[in-house]
Every structure is written in structure tokens, then in C-alpha cells.
Chains A and B, each alone.
Chain A
Amino acid sequence: MSELTADPYDITVKSNGLRRRKIVEKAFGVLAIGSAVLACTILVLVLGTLVYKGFSQLNVDFFTKARPLFGEKGGIADALVGSALIVGMAAVFAIPVAVLVAIYMSEYARPRVSRALKIVLDVLNGVPAIVVGIFVFGILVVGHGQSAVYGAFALAILMLPMVARATQEILEVVPRSLRDASFALGVTKWRTTWNIVLPAAIGGILTGVVIAVARVAGETAPLLFTTSIAASQISTDVSHALPTLPVTIFIFSESPDPGEQAAAWAAALVLIAFVLVMNVLAKLFAGRKRRQLEGS
């Protein structure tokens, strides 16, 4: 870019400062590049270890058998089913409420109320996942027992602020002209929101949903208190606790048994693959949203 050259007729060159400044400039460049390299290296190390240690475990048995009892070999089929069900339910619980809150903030509320709600959502977002887990344990699990539904509820609490924030941001970007035109045609507010504004915002909403799903799919703490006592067999009975991928990884991660450790790596690999796919999807939706809105 604009690096100064040593011009022999330039009076500023006479000072030693220039050499020092050039060294500092170089050092800064090295540090910046080095940091980026470091970050990428760590990523590659973690993912690489996952693949290296976990890949050999990925066979048909691994995906069709349930978690093993003491001293046996098994798989993660039950944890996969449990995670899928719980995350799915969490999405079903969280998305309608989140979208509605965002709609309220963007379409109906006075500016001060909207700002207050924004603060509420941001604070909710900052509540540590383990505190949410204890909360759900305290209000639901005590006296009733664990269940997958309670776990889903805990995850939904985590998803809510993320999806609401994303939805609100995209709703604000939807052009006013869209709403104006609809009102001018005599369409009611609620129909306008439901049939015009939301579809225009769907890309951004889906991005937010997918990112939130990717985040909570890996959450362990809320599930520890709500759905950790589960049978080692594939079950879809959501009224009881179901095994989940993150809790399974957590338990196996501390095991001395190399077989269980390998299973932990493999389960982590599966979980990361899912999270990565979700992130790619999010990018796809984001690109789509941008194109849609630019088109309109």
C-alpha cells in the first residue's frame, strides 16, 4: 500500500524514526498474519484430530447401535435420535415466539418499548446456559422427572433471543415501500405482516434459525439437568429423558477406555459435521436474502 520509500532528498528521512517505524510496521504485519495463521492452525488441529481419531469409528454399527453399557461396544444411534428430536422440538418451541416478538418490536411497538425489549432479549442471550439448565430443572424436572421435552424447552430458551434478534434485524431491512404499498391497497396490518413482510424476510429469518440450531445442537449444560438419565437404547419417547450427542460426548470425554474415547471423537465429528452443514446453509440463506432484497 502506501509505504514510504527512502527518498534521499526528503528531509523526513534524516531521522532514525523512519527505520523504527518501518520495523514497527513490519512487526505489525507479522503479528496480524501470525494471528490469523494461529487461528486457522487451531481450527485445523481440532478438526484434524476429530477426523483422525474419530473417522475410524464411523461404521454402520456406530450409527445403528445404542450407547454401550459397561465394557461393551456400541454406537450413537440413540443419541442421534435423541438430539434430533430435542433440537427439533426446541426449534418448534422457539421460532414462533421469537418471530412474534420480533414482529412486535419491529411493526407495533413504540420506540422506547422496542428498545426495552431489545435489552430484555440481549440480557436473555447473556444468561449462561448452565443457569438456564438449573432454571428448567427447578421449575419442571423436580417432582416430575427428566424428559426430552424439558430439555427442548431449555434449548428453546437459548434459541429465543438469537432468532428474535436475527428476525428483528431483517424485518428492519425490509423496505418501508413494501408495507406502504400494501396499506395503500387496503390490506390490513396483520395480513401485510404475515403475507408480505414475513415472506420478504424469510431468508434472514432462516439464517437466524439455522445459526441458532447450530449453536444449541452442541449445548451440553442445559441438557445435563433435564435429559441426562436415559436408557441406552434407541427411543422416541419424548416424555422420558433421551440420550443426546453433547451429553454422550461429555460423558465419554472423561473415560479411560480408549474405545469410549474413540466413540467420543466420532460423535464429536458427527456433531461438528452437522454444525458445519448448518453454517453453510446459513450462508446460503443469507446470500439468498441479500439477493431477494436487492432485487425488490
Chain B
Amino acid sequence: MTSAAYENNAAPESDLRRRGMRLGDLVFKGVAIAAALASTVLLIWIAWKIFDLAWPAIQDFGLSFVWTEAWDPVTNTYGALIFIYGTVVTSLIALVLATPLSIAIALFLTEIAPKRLAAPIATMVELLAAIPSVVLGLWGILVFGPWVRDHLEPWIQDTPLGWLPVFSGEPSASGIFTAALVLTIMIIPITSAICRELFIRVPRDLTDGALALGSTRWEAIRGVMFAYAAPGIVAAVLLGLGRAFGEAIAVNQTIGNHNAIPSSWFDPGDSLGSKIASEYVGATSLEQASSILYLAAILMVISLATNVVAQFIVVRFERARRAV
């Protein structure tokens, strides 16, 4: 609740008639409003500037840029599909892998772990979030990538999964799959932290009731907690997804930087953020530079959309919760 009431009935007027104090209030409020305005203007300015810089490409290619599969500075033919594929696929793989793990970790911390163990483990998961993406990328290039190429990907090919075309290429240290795994590591802490908050807030009596009726712990969790926290979990997952979409540096270090939609996820590809990081400083023509900015605009829109949907779900969740 905000203090709108306080704004109108701030204090007994007789004491405030002194001009000096009135001025102080005015100035302070003015400065605060200025800050709020500045933040809003900043957001609008960012969106405007990106679109402004991308405008030449938007004019040249129009909306078909989004589904054009090409990136050729020699003929100045550009399209975003390759990079949208990279961004979406790496993020979705990361989502599919990270979500059950995050929920499991959150459940472990709230339901299974004894109090003494929960705190340090929760801290460790938070620390995983604190690792800067460039450090995770460094680890990805020098340690994780080679391990994925030499052990994980051959192992996957030995399992039934190996029959799938997306897992049938030659194992490679850098590629869609490696980048997706690195993204998984990045979003687990975010999603699990939010889920943990959600699970803590589930009213105890609901779960106790289910247990009293003879369900196992897992059944109680599945039936009660998930049902109760489902919108929140969806929002947590979407926030993790938004984070994955926007990650440029660690992906740039591990995705292989290849201008194509690979048929196998083990092969190199590229993503929106990664391409921008690779090529923007070196864009030698207006067409190239504005096309890269067009990629940035698409990235911004995708991130924003995910964010907005997550917010929307949270708002509806809150409203529904208050109605209960």
C-alpha cells in the first residue's frame, strides 16, 4: 500500500506554514519525481534508440527478416531466423532441463532437508547464481566443453536418444547443446530460488490435510503444493527463460558461432545475443550494422514479452490468491 493518504494530510498545516519547510518538501518531492521520470524516460529511450539504429534494416527487409534464414555480409542479405533458432532452442533445452531440477531443489530445501542442512545448501545454490556469466563461459570453453565432447555427447549417442536426428551429429565441444547446458546451470538458481519462496508460503494446513488423508509426501506435494503454487512456478520458469534469452557472453563462448541452423544440436550454431557480441563492433557497412541492431530489437522484444507474460501471471496469481 502506498502512502497516498499521507501525501494529502501530511502534517498539521499550522506548523508547516513556514516557507522554508514547504520548499524542502517541494524540492524533495520534485527530485523524487524527476528520478522516477528519468527511469521511465530511460526505458523508452533505450527501446527507441535500438529501433532507431535498426531502422535502415527494418526498412530494407521488413518483417520477413524474422523468418529469413541467411546472413551474408558479402551480398548484404540478412535474416534473423538462424539466430532466433539458436536463442529459442538453447533456452528451451535449458528450460526443459532446469525446471524439474529447480523444482526438485526447491522441494529438497523446503520439505526434505533438515534445517541445519537447508541453509548451507540454499547458500550454495545462491552462490551458483552469483557466478558471472563470463566465468561460466570460461569454464565452459576450457573444461566443460571438452568433457561434453569426449564423454557426454558420445554417451547420449549410445542411448536411445542417439536415434534422434538432433543428437546424431559428431560430438563437438562448442555447439547448441553445450551452450544449452551452460544456460541450464545459469537458470537453475533463479528458478529454484523463486520456487523455494513459493513453497515456503504454501499454507502448512493444506499439505497437512492431504497427509492426514493418507497421501504420501510426494502426493501431497504434487496435489497440493503444485496446484497452489502453479502460477508462481510458471512465472519462475518464464523469468528463467527470459534470463536465458538475454544471455550473450557465456553463449558466445560456447555455441560455436556458425551462421546456420544446425541439423544436429551437437553442431555449432549461433544465437541473437551471441551474434550481436561477435559482430557489432566489426560491422563495416550500414546494412550489416543496422541488421545486427534489428537482431537486438528482436531480442529485446522477445525478452520483454517473456517478462511481461511472467508479470501478468504473477499479478493474476496474486489476485486469485487474495480471493481465496
Contacts and interface: CB of A to CB of B under 8 A. Distances in A.
- Chains A and B are bound partners: yes
Interface of A: 1-4, 12, 21-22, 24-25, 28-29, 31-36, 38-40, 42-43, 45-46, 49-50, 96-98, 100-101, 103-111, 114, 117, 119-132, 134-135, 138-139, 157, 160-161, 164, 172, 179, 183, 186-191, 193-194, 214, 217-221, 224-225, 228, 246, 249-250, 253-254, 261, 264-265, 268, 271-272, 275-276, 279
B67 interface: no
Interface string B244-258: 011111000100000
A2 B300 contact: no
A130 B42 contact: no
Interface in B181-237: 185, 188-189, 192, 211-212, 214, 216-219, 221
Given A179-B6, A183-B10, A3 B281 contact: no
A164 B39 contact: yes
A217 B132 contact: yes
B105 interface: yes
Given A40-B121, A183-B6, A250-B137, A139 B28 contact: no
Given A1-B217, A39-B101, A276-B130, 4 more contacts: A135-B46, A225-B281, A275-B132, A276-B127
Contact of A111 (B4, B6, B108, B245): B4
Contacts, number: 290
A45 B299 CA distance: 32
B25 interface: yes
A128 B246 contact: yes
A138 B36 CA distance: 23
A220 to B, nearest CB: 4
A197 B64 CA distance: 54
Interface of B: 1-4, 6-7, 10-12, 15-16, 21-22, 24-25, 27-29, 31-36, 38-40, 42-43, 45-46, 49-50, 53, 100-102, 104-105, 107-109, 111-113, 121, 124-128, 130-139, 141-143, 185, 188-189, 192, 211-212, 214, 216-219, 221, 242, 245-249, 253, 273, 276-277, 280-281, 293, 296, 299-300, 303-304, 306-308, 311
Contacts of B16: 186, 188
A191 B24 CA distance: 8
B123 to A, nearest CB: 8
10 contacts: A36-B104, A117-B39, A127-B246, A128-B248, A129-B248, A131-B296, A135-B46, A172-B1, A189-B28, A225-B281
B141 A254 contact: yes
Given A25-B217, A246-B132, A250-B137, A101 B4 contact: no
B219 A279 contact: no
A164 to B, nearest CB: 7
Nearest to A176: B3
Nearest to A135: B46
Given A105-B36, A108-B3, A131 B50 contact: yes
B28 to A, nearest CB: 4
A123 B299 contact: no
A138 B132 contact: no
Contacts of B253: 250, 253-254
The 6 closest A-B pairs by CB, nearest first: A218-B132, A128-B246, A100-B35, A190-B28, A35-B104, A126-B307
B216 A253 contact: no
B304 to A, nearest CB: 6
Contacts of B40: 117, 120
Contacts of A272: 130-132, 135
A265 B2 contact: no
Contacts of B38: 97
A43 B124 CA distance: 7
Contacts of A134: 50, 53, 276, 280, 293, 296
Nearest to B211: A2
B303 A189 contact: no
Contacts of B248: 128-130, 221
Contacts of B21: 188, 191
A264 B138 contact: yes
Contacts of B221: 28
A46 B43 contact: no
A39 B137 contact: no
Nearest to A99: B35
A114 B4 CA distance: 10
A184 to B, nearest CB: 8
A190 B133 contact: no
Contacts of B121: 36, 40
Contacts of A98: 35
B11 A4 contact: no
The listed residue with most B CB atoms (<10 A of its CB), out of A32, A45, A97, is A32
